[in-house]
Amino acid sequence: MKKTIIRYGLYSLLAAAVLFLLALVLGKGASYSTQEVIGYTTMVVSLTFVFFGIKHYRDRENDGKISFGKALLIGFLISLFAGVGFGIVDYIYTTWINPDFAQEYLTGITAEMKATLPADEFETAKAELEQQMEQYSGSGFWAFIMFATVAVIGLVISVISALILQRK
């Protein structure tokens, strides 16, 4: 089980890092909502290794059987590797490649909010967003949020994969 988790976890980590970097390059200049869609898509694609890792373990290492719990555990541990990959690349990006990301993001989101919200709601939302950005502007925090987001999506994919692949 350990070998499968490490192998498919490393595949997932590598895919996450490459896809994240590719998304940064290809999504440059796109709206933040488009970049968000690209980002979530890269997360889901890198997490496909969860399904394949569980399937490999079931079929090649466990005589075609796997319980829901063991499948869920394997899938979630693989997804943590992807989360680490996204977190590392995000940290590198927000620390060295684009240290002004937080300010650029705030400016971009504020412009999108201004275009879509009524004036009174805009001022309230802008003040809340500025306060949040001030509190959580460090690269380490952004990397942790990316890791946690991937881990949660990975948990969902692990549950779905475990339900599909479980065999007694």
Alpha helices per DSSP H over 119-166: 119-135, 139-165
Distances (CA, A) of 133 to 66, 100, 168: 44, 12, 49
Tell me the pLDDT of the chain (168 aa) as tens digits.
Answer: 999 999 999 999 999 999 988 888 887 888 888 888 999 999 999 999 999 999 999 999 999 999 999 999 999 999 999 999 999 999 999 999 889 888 888 888 888 888 888 988 988 988 898 888 887 778 899 899 999 999 999 999 999 999 999 998
> Is 63 in a helix, a strand, or coil?
coil
Residue span of the structural domain in which 104 resides: 2-165
Quote the pLDDT of residue 96. Answer: 93
User: Domain total for the chain?
Assistant: 1
What does the DSSP 8-state code read for residue 66?
Answer: B
Quote the pLDDT of residue 120. Answer: 85
Closest CA to 113 of 126, 99, 127, 94: 126
> Left if phi > 0, otherwise alpha if psi is -120 to 50, otherwise beta: which for 34?
alpha
